[in-house]
Structure 1
């Protein structure tokens, strides 16, 4: 066992996915990352212990590998493996919404994702929907193709794009409403705002955008 790391300001944002605070020089403790782009660092952890109440994420330095070193003290941890066991589920997020409680439209979305997207994007889609449902009750409703709209308040809309293995998401509100806080590329979509989720690492930023969308009062 090596040095035990305790990351602070940690939050579970989906199955096997956490955000936390860690300066770039500490991320380099986990080895030479293949990339150094953007402001967020990304690491993969083999095993960890998440404490939602204390907002900490603990893991052994030998169990972590750096994938990207960002420029700011913001980081994302991705579990190397996910498990449906009770102990692992508790460490992922004590407030996670079990899949069994999803409405039929949500389950249809996850089923289509499983059929059309590769495993990494299946995890990203599941983490995204889980993050939404932890904060907003509702149900996705399928359109005529691979598109789903949120009901009863359609403040976000998602299209599954199998050819490029990503999710295209439109959120209510003009680009100007999101420019100051967006951490993913955004563009206009007929008066609303569109962005893409291309990996599980995009999920925390995607959730921030979704919950900055304009809502019906």
Structure 2
């Protein structure tokens, strides 16, 4: 558990970065849907997002961190989820949770006809291939791949930004990735003012790719080399 001092407008309160727990998932899911609405998963609703985020608590390479104030009343002010080895994490999730996530996803889609139609147009084929096991072999390919850590979601509540919480969460994640022998860290963020590219550039990440998401949104990929 790590601790920092954050200056609030009227006082100072310690903020702790700790491992997320099952009890944190409800608010974590709400924050991801509210502050990171791009992509398919947030559109599937809080129940599915909570179920998906639970895999980052249970699997070996998953990372789920929360930033919480210590002073009463305690507040969750930030979160980070990701994996210290993305290839192996995805394989583990598919092995352990494929059918439960599939059931949860289908139930969410059935309640959201517009999202279902969008899914069928943009994602059905690659998701089916993954479910059928065509892309989940960590050792597939011509040779061993470098271990890549991936930040999937990073949220800091708007009133708490510019205080160092985001940097602190990222540093804790990178420490864990380094300990797990990752040689590269990666993330994707929306391009332009809607994304967090300026923040990541400021803390040492390098933009390496521009492309469009499956929804047609311009996105940027960032890398960070690890020791």
Q: Shorter-normalised TM-score: what interval?
A: under 0.3
**Counting strand residues as a fraction of each chain, which structure ranks higher?**
1
**Counting helix residues as a fraction of each chain, which structure ranks higher?**
2
